[in-house]
A and B are shown apart, each in its own frame.
Chain A
């Protein structure tokens, strides 16, 4: 947890310092994209070789679906409350 916090905050400070250098900023964006592609590919590899997960992929997918429904429904409702109480002008 502390490692995660300090690494990210360190990155943000560095980002603030180098933001005038457009080449660094755009190189960084590209690097992030490739890092994500690589990490998700590796995630696929480790899951593809795990029989237990492959066999339960449909139930994991179903679980993912109902979690998203719950998360979206809950967010919409609290968003509705905040809108009615604080944003609606009439």
Chain B
């Protein structure tokens, strides 16, 4: 939560600077964004590879646990498809790409901005921050009414860090490891699924 507030502050600060200073004109022609995105992906890769929990996740992996990220991916696709019926200005592909951030707002919004457009990047940033906030607020209710897996699926990629505490509290300690594995798998998949969807 604190992390997303800081990130949104940097974004907002950028908005104000971009709005009231000519800084963007100086940057035109420099393709800093693709390069910096590749750098970020590389760093995120190092972070995942050096995290002991990734290996632990691999070891405790079984078919049943893999059903949880699968449920999140399918459920998100179904939900976003339903929303796309009511949205005329954006195609289903564009909405699906936003949904495939699974709450990982920083990376997904930057990828979408680079591979698609600034406007859709903004939508991805806001939408995935909102996903995290909804999960933080409603995880206890989700666990009561929709079972102990529901908060994990709602949290998406954030179920390994920011929403892990509330998920563990709502669903019980025995769901901490599944939640962690779910988050790690989705975190790894986000860049691939988002780029894949946008490539159509």
**Interface on A for B, CB 8 Å cutoff?**
1, 3-5, 7-19, 24-25, 28-29, 31-32, 35-50, 52-54, 56-57, 60-61, 63-84, 86-88
A45 touches B75 (CB 8 A): no
A-B contact count (CB 8 A): 293
Smallest CB gap from A82: residue in B: B71
CB-contacts of B8-65 with A (<8 A): 10-20, 23-25, 27, 32-33, 36-52, 64
- Least CB distance from B127 to A in Å reads 4
Q: Which residues of chain B are within 8 angstroms of A68 by Cβ–Cβ distance?
A: 127-128, 130-131, 134
Smallest CB gap from B138: residue in A: A72
- Least CB distance from B51 to A in Å reads 8
A48 touches B16 (CB 8 A): yes
A79 touches B75 (CB 8 A): yes
A7-B45, A28-B47, A44-B14 as given contacts; A64 in contact with B126, CB under 8 Å: yes
A14-B45, A66-B83, A82-B149 as given contacts; A39 in contact with B50, CB under 8 Å: no
Measured between alpha carbons, how far is A87 from B150 in the docked complex, in Å? Answer: 12
**Which one of B47, B142, B192 has the highest number of Cβ atoms from chain A below 10 Å of its Cβ?**
B47
A64 touches B192 (CB 8 A): no
Q: Which residues of chain B are within 8 angstroms of A42 by Cβ–Cβ distance?
A: 14, 27, 32-33, 36
B83 touches A43 (CB 8 A): no
CB-contacts of B58-104 with A (<8 A): 64, 67-68, 70-72, 74-80, 82-83, 86-87, 90, 95, 98-99, 102
Q: Which residues of chain B are within 8 angstroms of A11 by Cβ–Cβ distance?
A: 41-49
Q: Which residues of chain A are within 8 angstroms of B119 by Cβ–Cβ distance?
A: 52-53, 56, 60
- Least CB distance from A22 to B in Å reads 9
B50 touches A81 (CB 8 A): no
Measured between alpha carbons, how far is A77 from B163 in the docked complex, in Å? Answer: 19
Q: Mark B144-178, 1 if CB is under 8 A from A, else 0.
A: 00111111111010000000000000000000000
Query: What are 10 contact pairs spanning A and B, CB under 8 A?
Result: A11-B44, A12-B45, A24-B50, A37-B10, A47-B18, A50-B18, A60-B126, A77-B146, A79-B149, A80-B146
**Seed contacts A14-B46, A79-B75; 12 additional CB < 8 Å A-B pairs:** A10-B42, A11-B47, A14-B45, A25-B47, A36-B106, A40-B106, A46-B24, A47-B121, A64-B127, A72-B131, A76-B153, A82-B67
B47 touches A29 (CB 8 A): yes
- Least CB distance from B77 to A in Å reads 7
